[in-house]
């Protein structure tokens, strides 16, 4: 039996707040329904107190989503928490997510308070939120840079106050995987009531480590990961949902954890989010990039024609991409050209492979990638020469 890791999606909150143009109400509903179809456990739909538009979309998402818990974000103040509860109460079950900073720099410079005042605000916020729902998440903003004694103290107090999930964000993407995993291990070793709550992580990608840090935290015992589709979010973004989900799927035996993500929905959801958010996905992005399942080197292509697991650790079909692509380039061998001609409906006797390959290489040297239409044009040209 594997341990379940809860997938908390924040595409519509952390992801959306980083877009140059905000999503329309209908676009948010489309994304929420796609996330539900993808099998995420929690959808953070927005920050209801921030604007009437956000309140309305959180409320409508709470109405239409049935198979995931809908959540709203609030600072650790009553007005924010009340707005969350008002927006979400249409749902049978909902989560209020409240947060406050815990690092020295945030407490002293941003909040201009003492740590004990911040702790009191957190405790009050959690208790207040518990009046509206039994599902309350508390986040220690900038936990990654918080002195460990203070972090342990805050986590213990939040759980005592009634938090059912405690989230440990690496808000500025500063920690390294072994360091972040170490923070989670220390919490498990030092906080006496830690087993009363789910420990969650929320990692940003400023050093490109959001997925690695989230994975290290899961290996240290965290059982909720906060992430976004295509990794969108503040600055360099958040932990990418498709990457973390496919790590846990591909390495399930090794990690002994799993998620409820319906991975065949990944490509479709990624495309939708990319289009609606106007955020192109880089071609070499793991799992969902255009090149994630395409092979260019002749040696790799030869291997792929013999057995797909020579150069693929998961199938494209498993993430909803129709098939592996073998790019026709000057590195491609004759057997790949022959294979492509077969898939285009041509048998060996229909053309002269040596002639075709020679012309193909000349073209590939000139233009880089050669497409099916180019191959057929070479073939057509050679047949014309015979007729002439
Ligand atoms: O990055 C962060 O710390 C956040 C919190 C609100 C969870 O987004
Ligand atoms: Zn964040």
- Are 97 and 139 in contact, with CB atoms under 8 Å apart? yes
- Rounded CA gap, 214 and 200, in Å? 9
**202 annotated ligand-binding residue:** yes
Beta strands in 232-345, from DSSP E residues, in sequence order: 257-258, 294-295, 325-326
- The reported pLDDT for the residue numbered 384 is 73
- Are 324 and 295 in contact, with CB atoms under 8 Å apart? yes
Give the position, in ligand 1's atom list, of the atom nearest the Cα of 143. 3
Q: Would strands 42-46 and 69-75 be described as parallel, antiparallel, or unpaired?
A: parallel
Ligand nearest the Cα atom of residue 171: 1
Tell me the β-bridge partners of 7.
Answer: 225
Going from the C-alpha of 343 to that of each of 87, 333, 347, the distances in angstroms are 54, 16, 9
Cα 216 to its chain centre, rounded Å, is 16
Beta strands in the chain, from DSSP E residues, in sequence order: 3-4, 6-9, 42-46, 69-75, 94-101, 136-141, 165-170, 198-203, 224-227, 257-258, 294-295, 325-326
The residue whose C-alpha atom lies closest to atom 5 belonging to ligand 1 is: 141
Ligand 1 contacts CB of residue 98 (under 6 A): no
- Rounded CA gap, 367 and 347, in Å? 26
149 Cβ neighbours under 8 A, 6+ residues apart: none
**Ligand 1 centroid to residue 315 C-alpha, Å:** 34
**339 annotated ligand-binding residue:** no
Q: Which of 190, 241, 203 lies closest to 9, judged by CA?
A: 241
58 Cβ neighbours under 8 A, 6+ residues apart: 45, 46, 48, 70, 72, 84, 87, 88
Q: How many CB atoms lie within 10 A of CB 349?
A: 6
Phi (first) and psi of residue 192, to 5 degrees: -65, -35
- The reported pLDDT for the residue numbered 119 is 98
- The reported pLDDT for the residue numbered 268 is 97
- Are 171 and 142 in contact, with CB atoms under 8 Å apart? yes
**295 annotated ligand-binding residue:** no
- The reported pLDDT for the residue numbered 323 is 86
**DSSP letter string, 205-256:** -TTS-HHHHHHHHHHTT--EEEEBGGG--STT-B-BHHHHHHHHHHTHHHH-
Q: How many CB atoms lie within 10 A of CB 270?
A: 25
- The reported pLDDT for the residue numbered 388 is 58
pLDDT tens string for the chain (388 positions)?
899 999 999 999 999 999 999 999 999 999 999 999 999 999 999 999 999 999 999 999 999 999 999 999 999 999 999 999 999 999 989 999 999 999 999 999 999 999 999 999 999 999 999 999 999 999 999 999 999 999 999 999 999 999 999 999 999 999 999 999 999 999 999 999 999 999 999 999 999 999 999 999 999 999 999 999 999 999 999 999 999 999 999 999 999 999 999 999 999 999 999 999 999 999 999 999 999 999 999 999 999 999 999 999 999 999 999 888 999 999 999 999 999 999 999 998 999 999 999 999 999 999 999 999 999 999 998 887 666 5
- Are 14 and 268 in contact, with CB atoms under 8 Å apart? no
> For 39-57, b where at least 16 C-beta lie within 10 A, e where not — what string?
bbbbbbbbbbbbeeebbeb
Tokens at 83, concatenated: 């707005």
49 Cβ neighbours under 8 A, 6+ residues apart: 55, 74, 75, 79, 80, 83, 84
- Are 54 and 16 in contact, with CB atoms under 8 Å apart? no
- Rounded CA gap, 262 and 59, in Å? 25
Q: Which long-range contacts (CB under 8 A, 24 or more apart) does 306-311 make?
A: none
- Are 336 and 301 in contact, with CB atoms under 8 Å apart? yes
Query: 86, exposed or middle or buried, with CB in 10 Å at 0-12, 13-18, 19+?
Result: middle
Ligand 1 contacts CB of residue 139 (under 6 A): yes
- The reported pLDDT for the residue numbered 386 is 61
Mutate to test the pocket of ligand 1, among 71, 169, 170, 239 (most ligand atoms within 8 A of CB): 169
**Ligand 2 centroid to residue 14 C-alpha, Å:** 6
Ligand 1 contacts CB of residue 156 (under 6 A): no
- Are 114 and 131 in contact, with CB atoms under 8 Å apart? no
């Amino acid at each position: 039996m594997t341990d379940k890791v809860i997938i908390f999606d924040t595409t519509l909150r952390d992801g959306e707040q980083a877009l140059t143009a905000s999503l329309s109400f209908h676009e948010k509903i489309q994304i929420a329904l796609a996330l539900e179809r993808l099998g995420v456990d929690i959808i953070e739909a927005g920050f209801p107190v921030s604007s009437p538009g956000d309140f309305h979309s959180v409320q409508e998402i709470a109405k239409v989503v049935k198979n995931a818990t809908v959540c709203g974000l609030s600072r650790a103040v009553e007005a924010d928490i009340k707005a969350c509860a008002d927006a979400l109460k249409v749902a049978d079950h909902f989560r209020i997510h409240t947060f406050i900073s815990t690092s020295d720099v945030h407490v002293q410079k941003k909040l201009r308070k003492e740590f004990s005042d911040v702790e009191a605000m957190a405790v009050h916020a959690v208790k207040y939120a518990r009046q509206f729902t039994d599902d309350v998440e508390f986040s220690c903003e900038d936990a990654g840079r918080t002195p460990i004694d203070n972090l342990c103290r805050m986590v213990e107090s939040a759980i005592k106050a009634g938090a059912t999930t405690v989230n440990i964000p690496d808000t500025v993407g500063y920690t390294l995987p072994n360091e972040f995993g170490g923070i989670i291990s220390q919490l498990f070793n030092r906080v006496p009531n830690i087993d009363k709550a789910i420990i969650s992580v929320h990692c940003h990608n400023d050093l490109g480590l959001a997925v690695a840090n989230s994975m290290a935290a899961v290996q240290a015992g965290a059982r909720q990961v906060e992430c976004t589709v295509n990794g969108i979010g503040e600055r360099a973004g958040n932990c990418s949902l498709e990457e973390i989900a496919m790590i846990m799927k591909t390495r399930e035996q090794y990690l002994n954890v799993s998620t409820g993500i319906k991975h065949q929905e990944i490509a479709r959801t990624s495309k939708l989010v990319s289009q609606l958010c106007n955020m192109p996905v880089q071609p070499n992005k793991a799992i969902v990039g255009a090149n994630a399942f395409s092979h260019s080197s002749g040696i790799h292509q030869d291997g792929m024609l013999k057995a797909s697991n020579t150069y693929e650790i998961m199938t494209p079909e498993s993430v909803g991409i129709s098939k592996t692509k073998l790019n026709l380039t000057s590195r491609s061998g004759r057997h790949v050209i022959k294979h492509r001609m077969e898939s285009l409906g041509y048998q060996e006797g229909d053309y002269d492979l040596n002639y075709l390959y020679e012309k193909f290489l000349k073209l590939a040297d000139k233009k880089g990638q050669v497409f099916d239409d180019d191959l057929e044009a070479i073939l057509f040209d050679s047949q014309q020469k015979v007729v002439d």
